[in-house]
Amino acid sequence: MTRQAEDRQLPQAKNEDVEFSEQLADSDDREAAKRAAEADARQEGV
């Protein structure tokens, strides 16, 4: 199987089970959440 064929079979993960508390979040956590949301939007073509 070619690398390209293997890539097509990889699962796309979204909404991983990750606990996030806005009350405990620091600026790095908020930046990471923002970047993750932007990456999700790019992948969805929004």
Identity of the amino acid at 17: D
Q: How far is CA 20 from the centre of its chain?
A: 14
Q: How far is residue 7's CA from residue 29's CA, in Å, rounded to a whole number?
A: 30
Question: What is the reported pTM?
Answer: 0.54
Query: How would you write the pLDDT of the chain (46 residues) with one tens digit per residue?
Result: 566 655 666 666 666 667 778 899 999 999 998 998 999 899 888 6
What pLDDT, on the 0 to 100 scale, is given for residue 27?
95
Own/partner long-range contacts of 2-8 (Cβ < 8 Å, ≥24 apart): none
Per DSSP, 9 falls in state: H
Nearest Cα to Cα of residue 40 among 8, 7, 16: 16
Q: Which two tokens stand for residue 40?
A: 């999700």
